[in-house]
Amino acid sequence: MALLVERPLRLCSAHYLLRIRHTIRECMPGQFVNLRGWSGHDPLLRRPFSVFNRESDVLELVIRVVGKGTEILSRMEPGEIDLLGPMGRGFTIMENRSVLLAGGGVGNAPLHYLARMLKERGNRVSCIYGARSREYIYREKEFREICDSVIFTTDDGSFGTAGTVTDAAREILSHEAFDRIYSCGPTAMMRSMVELAGSAPIEISVENYFGCGIGLCMGCTIETTQGMKRACIDGPVFDGSSIKWESLC
Amino acid sequence: MDCTVTIGGCRLKNPVTVASGTAGYGEELSRFVDLSELGAIFTKGLSLAPRPGNRGNRVLETPSGLLNSIGLENVGLERFIAEKLPFLLAKGATVIPNVAGHSEDENEELCRVLSGTPGIDALELNVSCPNVREGGMVFGTDMGRFTSLLDRVRKHTACALIVKLSPNVTDIAGFALAAERAGADAVSAVNTFLGMKIDVKGQRPHFLNGVAGLSGPAIRPLAVRAVYQIYERVSIPVIGMGGISSLEDLLEFVMAGASAVSVGTMNMVDPGLSVRLVRELGEYLAGRGASGLSDLVGAAHTQRSGQ
């Protein structure tokens, strides 16, 4: 059984932190959980959220309020919560290497947990954290503490560097090489990151619309060079170079 | 208590099944339920060759429902028999493949091969998929093509034949009757209702195929009505489905005339539901001192005429 430990904490505009006590054996960065915070049929489907952090038996999730389901979740009272997971395939964890993380919006959430684990394994972690504007940046201090270097970018220049994640990535990659790049965020951003990565290995976490989130419905299938893959079971983390992007846009 | 359901030569150990397209090939569902406890698993619609399914958006939640435009993505007959069926049989599942060929020829061949495959005692002929351009729902909405297909398929199906009906017709009971006359052993009712979502910002349909199939609790009253109408016209068993999420929903279908039911969309939300319903139904019948389900099948018809 999963328990919402406390009321969802507002992190920044439209983003909330959910802390859920849940007995799990293993949870890799990039994996997600399927939540249901209601008993009726509207909303109907569970909502998937990648893991932002894990402290022993407490999972932390960042949710962005985009509709009815996420709004209900953002206003839940502490207590039992219907959770399936963690599900899916997470990121590959390197050891003693140099890596670049590039996240956009709520896509920064799984990169937080990823950065923590990569640091624990002796990696040098550089991070680009992108958001629309200052009011969409959450847990800035934690990202600074965990990573060796963080660049914040905002579309409107209200915080950090004005511009996009890919602008910042282009600049860094022009003078620094990484053993692996990790990215999560809007599809167009990840597609650009894969192009910028060139021959460097890059893993991305796709954010397409899930039906069931447990591999039953084939609603989240994407086309890859290895054939049709269900994002919820075969992903959400994929080798960026394997994605046939035209199928996702 | 005897809760078995007999469909032609196929015996379901209980009346609760999972619907095609909502249970894949059982691998993922088996992480949540013991497949051997189910009446049957109807596997994902199958074609001779593998199909990639539709591009673009494939699913969308609607009020209490789900629109889908998967387009019958499946592994094809060969891989189904080589990989998927052995897994299911090893789990002790009763497997009913859903046959979804593009043409009469393809459906005939699928039925011939599958019904001759050990471990398969029943097939479900899908004449009602709204998401493919060829075949699919055309077979289930045009009476001439419907009976022509059934006549051919029946001759080449050596096991029980279940016909999954399209609700997108004026008189679904007429199609059920035609299926019975063509020698079908049962009908499944219903497949998804044709629906659509317009992307207002883009001023275009949300799905590349334009239309999509609506399922889930949103269609339950429509599906119960269809089962009720079918029951009045045919004597073969009806497998009822459409948004079943609880024992009460299940009983509605049974009392409307279903001898068995399928849990569909709600598997996706609550994957343990089907097996929970097997237990709840058993407790319900035991509590009533019933010897089985048969007294309740179509009960709403008797009550109505008795008024």
| CB neighbourhood size of A120 (10 A) | 11
The Cβ of residue B139 has, within 10 Å, a number of other Cβ atoms equal to 26
| Residue A68, SS3 per DSSP | helix
B246 has a pLDDT exceeding 60: yes
**With 80 as the cut, is the pLDDT of residue A127 above it?**
yes
- Over range A70-96, report the average pLDDT: 96
- Chain B nearest CA to A171, separation (Å): 33
In this predicted structure, what is the pLDDT of residue A146? 96
What is the pLDDT averaged over residues B271-287? 97
Q: Give the model's pLDDT for residue B137.
A: 79
User: pLDDT of B7-27, one tens digit each?
Assistant: 999 999 999 999 999 999 999
Q: What is the DSSP letter of A23?
A: -
Question: What digits encode the pLDDT tens for the residues A192-238?
Answer: 999 999 999 999 999 889 999 999 999 999 999 999 999 999 999 99
Q: Kindly report the backbone phi and psi dihedral angles of residue A110, in degrees, each rounded to the nearest multiple of 5, phi listed first.
A: -65, -25
Inter-residue contact A127 to A151 (CB < 8 Å): yes
Could you read off the pLDDT of B87-111 as tens digits, one per residue? 999 999 999 999 999 999 999 999 9
DSSP string, chain B: -B--EEETTEEESSSEEE-TTSSTTSTTGGGTS-GGGSSEEEPPPB-SS-B----S--EEEETTEEEE-----B-HHHHIIIIIHHHHHHTT--EEPEE--SSHHHHHHHHHHHHTSTT--EEEEE---TT-SSSTHHHHH-HHHHHHHHHHHHHH--SEEEEE--S-SS-HHHHHHHHHHTT-SEEEE--PEEEE-EETTTTEESBTTBEEEEESGGGHHHHHHHHHHHHHH--S-EEEESS--SHHHHHHHHHHT-SEEEE-HHHHH-TTHHHHHHHHHHHHHHHTT-SBSGGGTTHHHHHHHT-
What are the domain boundaries of chain A?
2-87, 98-205
* DSSP-derived secondary structure letter, A234: T
CA dihedral B78, B81, B84, B87 (to 10 degrees): -150
Q: Which of A46, A215, A220 sits opposite B28 (nearest CB)?
A: A215
> Is B271–A216 a contact, with Cβ atoms under 8 angstroms apart?
yes
Backbone angle region of A79, left / alpha / beta, with phi > 0 → left and psi within -120 to 50 → alpha: left
Share of chain B above pLDDT 90, in %: 91
How high is the pLDDT of residue A25?
Answer: 78
pLDDT at residue B307 greater than cutoff 60? no
Predicted local confidence at residue B230, as pLDDT: 98
Over residues B52-70, mean pLDDT: 95
| In chain A, residues 56-95 whose CB comes closer than 8 Å to chain B | 84
Nearest to A228 by CA among A211, A210, A243, A212: A243
Please tell me the CATH code under which domain A2-87 is placed: 2.40.30.10
Nearest to B37 by CA among B66, B11, B12: B12
Topology match between the domains A2-87 and A98-205: no
- CATH code, A98-205: 3.40.50.80
Q: Which residues of A touch B208 (CB under 8 A)?
A: none
pLDDT tens-digit map of B132-155: 766 677 888 999 999 999 999 999
Closest to B66 (Cα-Cα) out of A148, A153, A104, A41: A41
The DSSP call for residue A208 is P
Give the Cβ contact number of residue A135 at 10 Å. 14
E strands, A37-112, where? 47-55, 58-64, 79-87, 98-104
- Return the number of other C-beta atoms located less than 10 Å from residue B55's C-beta: 16
Cβ-nearest to A218 among B64, B70, B217? B70
**Average pLDDT over every residue of B77-85:** 97
At A156, phi and psi to the nearest 5? Answer: -100, 5
- The predicted pLDDT at position B136 comes to 73
Residue A24 has pLDDT above 90, yes or no: no
pLDDT of residue B152: 96
Confidence check: pLDDT of B38 > 80? yes
How, if at all, do strands A15-21 and A227-230 pair?
unpaired
Give the per-residue pLDDT at B135. 67
**Token pair in block for residue A237:** 């983390």
What CA–CA distance (Å, rounded) separates A74 from A71?
5
Q: Do B58 and A216 make contact, defined as CB atoms within 8 angstroms?
A: no
A162 and chain B: CB distance < 8 Å anywhere?
no
pLDDT in tens, B248-264: 999 999 999 999 999 99
Q: Which residue of B has its CA nearest to A211?
A: B59
Determine which helix (DSSP H) or strand (DSSP E) holds A159, and give its type and residue range: none
Residue ranges of domains in chain B: 5-305
Contact B252, B243 (CB under 8 A): no
Q: What per-residue confidence (pLDDT) applies to A249?
A: 61
CA separation for the pair B155, B146 (Å, rounded): 15
Cα–Cα dist A72/B141, whole Å? 41
State the DSSP H helix or E strand holding residue A146, giving kind and residue range, or none if neither: helix A140-146
Q: Per the structure block, which two tokens stand in for B125? A: 């002929």
A162 vs B307, which has greater pLDDT? A162
**What CATH number belongs to B5-305?**
3.20.20.70
Q: Please compute the mean of the pLDDT values over residues B288-298 and round it to a whole number.
A: 93
Does residue A129 have a pLDDT over 80? yes
Mean pLDDT of A171-180: 95
**C-beta separation of B149 from B128 below 8 A:** no
- Of how many residues is chain A composed? 249
Residues from B contacting A (CB-CB < 8 Å) are 21-24, 27-29, 31-32, 44, 52-53, 55, 57-61, 63-66, 68, 70, 73, 216-218, 243, 245, 265, 267-269, 271
* pLDDT confidence tier of residue B305, bands split at 50, 70 and 90: low
Beta-bridge partners for A221: A230
* Rounded average pLDDT over A146-161: 96
Q: B202-233 pLDDT, tens per residue?
A: 999 999 999 999 999 999 999 999 999 999 99
Q: How far is A172 from chain B, CA to nearest CA, in Å?
A: 34
Residue A165 three-state SS: helix
Average pLDDT, chain B: 95
The pLDDT of residue B2 is 86
Can you tell me the distance from the alpha carbon of A135 to that of B302, in angstroms, rounded to the nearest whole number? 64
B14: left (phi over 0), alpha (psi -120 to 50) or beta: beta
B159 has catalytic annotation:
no
